[in-house]
């Protein structure tokens, strides 16, 4: 028993001694080992892709601290001007920063996933509405039905278009709100991730499809749509353009991958086409409406020329009313334009005229003032008062003569 | 007449006293010790630069000392140096048999001592500073030698292996 205890003791001492012997290293090696571990951790923290990964790295930082804290004094000298403690703190701070950034990205990822789902749902709804409007248009084209039934079909077609445009507006607003709320710093991270082109759920594809469908509708219209529809489509296009100008760069960078510049150029090219078609159809439709109502404003094809045309038309009409004896017929000209101005421009189309800046508020207000002047000049004047005045004067003069002769 | 002849002697004596006083301005108890060895890689000319501790020198004289004038082929990959509290540099490298104790002078390092630390050439030496004395650690064998400018000291820590 005693021999067993002695040999156990010797073994214990040997193990202790060999353990101590193994610990004989150079200070320089300690420094190098610390620096190597420090650098590896730093690289891992910078490249961490998930919060779990960062958590694991945080525990590795604690292990590093435990492993080297016996050499703190040595490392304070070796790492000058840094210290052991400041190096550990720096790693911990970097891990916290990365974790914070990753938490934001994960939050944004959830948001983007939700948006992708929304886009998919918009896409299918828009496709459904497209097919409905297309079949209604086909029915209108082939229709041999009565005028009343045809009018009903046209109305249904226009309603369907309106619903579709509302969906497009909602979709573009969702896109805008989601990307606008994202922090600038996380955009950089998102751009670095590979989100490029998964057919079907890429917002850039959805945007391009929507633009192309709109161009198609505008180019193939056979007179079924009315001015109000074109104004609404012009507003949708303006809103689309506005949102793209604010988030287009970021969307292209995130979802365009290596082809981001091409995607951006492609979308902007199509947006240009859409704007040209929407603008052309809208101004032509307003012009046609005015012609049908016997108002000739002359040529216009943009906001400024439209305003100038109205301004010039009212000025000429006011001058003409001032120069000649106004009759009821002249006043009817004023009344016709006044109806167009108040009923259509300011009321029926008012919402789109303002949203699409077909006319600005300042221009509308200026034309309102001119309209008042025209009305004053165009109002037929009554000749009864001067006639009565003349008759009264003759009567008085007659009476004076009669009275004078009597005397 | 006698007093006149003393004047130059007095002046000379005053000057000598003043000059001696200037030369005696000394700061004592300076600790030159370098807490961790520097491991320096020679450039193509054999120069090593320790930027942190501000010293540059050529290793060729050490190579000649170790391997002789005739050996032109042996290359020194890394030089290890550490400075003790008194300001002596302890310099060695792999394949050396000695640690060179060098005393810094005006633009020179003067050999103070050449301490033979191994019959075989060193394979993985390292220099540590422990309690203001320099240790040579043979990391391949875990042998530790305690050194000062005068030579090998009796090890405070016995070789554990």
ipTM, two decimals: 0.79
How long a stretch of residues is chain A? 407
Domain boundary among A238, A262, A292: A292
For the residues A311-316, what does the mean pLDDT come to?
Answer: 90
Same domain flag for A308 and A282: no
Q: Is A29 on the interface with B (CB under 8 A)?
A: yes
Same domain flag for A119 and A196: yes
Percentage helix, strand, coil for chain A under 3-state DSSP, each rounded to 5? 85, 0, 15
Chain B nearest C-alpha distance from A256 (Å): 48
Q: Is B36 on the interface with A (CB under 8 A)?
A: yes
- List chain B residues with CB under 8 Å of A81: none
What residue numbers bound the domain in which A160 lies?
A: 108-292
The reply to whether A407 falls in a domain is: no
The reply to whether A207 falls in a domain is: yes
Residue B24 makes CB contacts below 8 A (sequence gap 6+) with: none
Q: How far is A307 from A313, CA to CA, in rounded Å?
A: 10
A185 pLDDT above the threshold of 80: no
- Mark which residues 168-227 of A lie under 8 Å from B by CB: none
Domain boundary among A269, A292, A315: A292
A184 pLDDT above the threshold of 60: no
Contact present, B122 and B96 (Cβ < 8 Å): yes
- List chain B residues with CB under 8 Å of A20: 160
Contact present, A334 and A378 (Cβ < 8 Å): yes
The reply to whether A81 falls in a domain is: no
Same domain flag for A217 and A190: yes
A67 pLDDT above the threshold of 90: yes
Model pLDDT, residue A201: 64
Same domain flag for A194 and A124: yes
> Can the peptide bond before residue A81 be classed as cis, meaning omega within 30 degrees of 0?
yes
Highest-pLDDT range among A3-12, A216-225, A289-298, A321-330: A289-298
Higher pLDDT residue, B138 or A205?
B138
CB atoms within 10 A of CB A122: 19
- List chain A residues with CB under 8 Å of B35: 27, 74, 77-78
A16 pLDDT above the threshold of 80: no
Same domain flag for A218 and A271: yes
pLDDT digits (tens, 9 = 90+) for A128-162: 877 887 788 777 777 666 667 777 878 888 888 88
Same domain flag for A254 and A308: no
Same domain flag for A240 and A124: yes
The reply to whether A39 falls in a domain is: no
Same domain flag for A277 and A152: yes
The reply to whether A45 falls in a domain is: no
Task: Give how many domains chain A has, as a whole number.
Answer: 2
- Residue B90 in 3-state DSSP? strand
Same domain flag for A140 and A287: yes
How long a stretch of residues is chain B? 161
Model pLDDT, residue A132: 80
Contact present, A38 and A46 (Cβ < 8 Å): no
For the residues A334-349, what does the mean pLDDT come to?
Answer: 88
A93 pLDDT above the threshold of 80: yes
Give the tokens for residue A167.
Answer: 């969906």
Same domain flag for A376 and A344: yes
Q: How far is A387 from A395, CA to CA, in rounded Å?
A: 12
Q: How far is A214 from A281, CA to CA, in rounded Å?
A: 12
Q: How far is A327 from A320, CA to CA, in rounded Å?
A: 12
The reply to whether A148 falls in a domain is: yes
- Domain boundary assignment for chain B: 38-153
B26-30 CB contacts, 8 Å cutoff, 24+ apart:
B30/B87
Strands (E), B1-116: 38-40, 47-50, 55-58, 79-83, 89-93, 98-105, 108-116
Same domain flag for A188 and A229: yes
Look at A77 and B36 and tell me if their CB atoms are within 8 Å.
yes
For the residues A281-304, what does the mean pLDDT come to?
Answer: 89
DSSP string, A110-179: HHHHHHHHHHHHHHHHHHHHHHHHHHHHHHHHH--S-HHHHHHHHHHHHHHHHHHHHHHHHHHHHHHHHH
For the residues A61-80, what does the mean pLDDT come to?
Answer: 94
Model pLDDT, residue A214: 86
Same domain flag for A318 and A286: no
């Amino acid at each position: 028993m005693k021999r067993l205890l002695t040999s156990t003791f010797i073994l214990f001492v040997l193990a202790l001694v060999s353990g101590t012997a193994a610990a004989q290293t150079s200070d320089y090696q300690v420094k190098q080992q610390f620096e190597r571990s420090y650098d590896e951790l730093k690289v891992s923290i910078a490249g961490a892709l998930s919060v779990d990964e960062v958590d694991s790295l945080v525990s590795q930082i604690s292990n590093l601290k435990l492993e080297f804290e016996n050499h703190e004094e040595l490392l304070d000298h070796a790492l000058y001007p840094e210290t052991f403690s400041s190096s550990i703190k720096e790693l911990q701070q970097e891990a916290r920063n990365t974790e914070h950034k990753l938490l934001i990205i994960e939050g944004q990822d959830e948001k983007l996933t939700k948006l992708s789902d929304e886009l998919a749902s918009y896409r299918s709804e828009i496709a459904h509405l497209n097919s409905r409007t297309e079949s209604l248009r086909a029915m209108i084209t082939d229709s041999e039905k009565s005028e009343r039934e045809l009018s009903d079909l046209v109305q249904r077609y226009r309603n369907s278009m309106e619903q579709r445009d509302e969906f497009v507006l909602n979709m573009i607003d969702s896109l805008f709100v989601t990307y606008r709320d994202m922090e600038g710093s996380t955009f950089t991270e998102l751009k670095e991730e590979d989100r490029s082109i998964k057919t079907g759920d890429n917002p850039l594809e959805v945007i391009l499809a929507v633009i192309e469908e709109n161009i198609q509708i505008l180019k193939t219209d056979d007179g079924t749509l009315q001015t109000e529809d074109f104004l609404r489509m012009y507003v949708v296009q303006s809103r689309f353009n506005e949102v793209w100008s604010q988030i287009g760069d970021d969307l292209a960078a995130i979802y365009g991958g290596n082809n981001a510049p091409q995607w951006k150029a492609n979308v902007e090219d199509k947006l240009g086409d859409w704007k040209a078609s929407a603008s052309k159809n809208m101004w032509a439709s307003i012009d046609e409406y005015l012609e049908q109502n016997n108002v000739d404003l002359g040529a216009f094809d943009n906001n400024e020329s439209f305003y100038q045309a109205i301004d010039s038309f009212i000025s000429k009409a006011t001058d003409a009313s001032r120069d000649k004896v106004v009759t009821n017929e002249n006043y009817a000209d004023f009344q016709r334009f006044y109806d167009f101005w108040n009923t259509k421009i300011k009321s029926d189309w008012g919402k789109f005229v303002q949203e699409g800046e077909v006319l600005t508020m300042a221009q509308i207000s200026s034309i309102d003032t001119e309209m008042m002047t025209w009305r004053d000049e165009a109002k037929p004047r009554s000749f009864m008062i001067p006639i009565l005045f003349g008759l009264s004067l003759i009567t008085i003069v007659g009476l004076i003569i009669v009275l004078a002769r009597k005397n | 007449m006698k007093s006149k002849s003393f004047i130059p002697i007095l002046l000379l004596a005053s000057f000598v006293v003043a000059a001696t006083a200037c030369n005696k301005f000394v700061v004592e108890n300076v600790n030159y010790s370098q807490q961790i060895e520097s491991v320096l890689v020679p450039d193509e000319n054999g120069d090593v630069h320790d930027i942190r501790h501000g010293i540059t020198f050529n290793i060729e004289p050490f190579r000649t000392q170790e391997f002789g004038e005739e050996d032109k082929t042996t290359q020194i990959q890394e030089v290890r140096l550490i400075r003790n509290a008194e300001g002596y540099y302890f310099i060695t490298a792999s394949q050396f048999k000695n640690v060179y104790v060098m005393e810094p002078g005006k633009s020179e390092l003067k050999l103070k001592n050449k301490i033979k630390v191994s019959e075989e050439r060193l394979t993985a030496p390292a220099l540590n500073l422990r309690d203001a004395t320099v240790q040579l650690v043979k990391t391949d064998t875990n042998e530790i030698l305690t050194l000062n400018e005068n030579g090998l000291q009796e090890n405070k820590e016995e070789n554990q292996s």
